[in-house]
Structure 1
Amino acid sequence: MFARRGPGLVGMAARTAVVAGTATAVSGRVARRQQRKYGEQDAEYVGQQAAAMEQGFEQGAGGTAPAEPDYTAELQQLAQLKTQGILTEEEFQAKKKQILGI
């Protein structure tokens, strides 16, 4: 009289459990793989930054230092302006102190 049409309630629950377990295992594996990948990328980035900082420190210690302004040329120009009478002694001294940072 009653014909069975499917796996039944227990069979359906078992199939759902298998699918859910497989999905969990796959997603866990993907998550671990991504964590490892991003961890390696982070370590590589940190290493690059550390190398760049070391290189910067080495240059500061004995490498090429940034060029300083040519104070001598500026002072010579000021002296010429003073000699020509364009600047007074007070103006010359004030500008000289400004250039030298005194």
Structure 2
Amino acid sequence: MPGLLRGVARTAVVAGTATAVSNRVSRRQAGRWAQQDYEQQQQYAPPPEPQQYAPQPPAPAAPPADTADDMTRKIDQLKQLGDLKAQGVLTDEEFEQQKRVLLA
């Protein structure tokens, strides 16, 4: 009986080792294939386009005759400038400059 148990245990160890080695070889080969695919895609991929920036908000027009409409328009433009600044399109300096122009 001890010889039978020893044989079964040895078979289990050999089978477990073979499975572990096989899995490692499979993972390594899959990694190599993935790397080759990535390199081929990079080789044939078009170059990245340069980053486009949002256009600057238009300069304010001549002040209208009605002051209530003028204030509403300025408030809307200030909100737009604030949104552009929050999105990172405008820097703090650009925002302040545009705000001064708008309120002048």
Larger RCO: 1 or 2 (CA < 8 Å, sep 6+): 2
Q: Quick check: which one's helix share is greater? A: 1
Larger radius of gyration, structure 1 or 2? 1
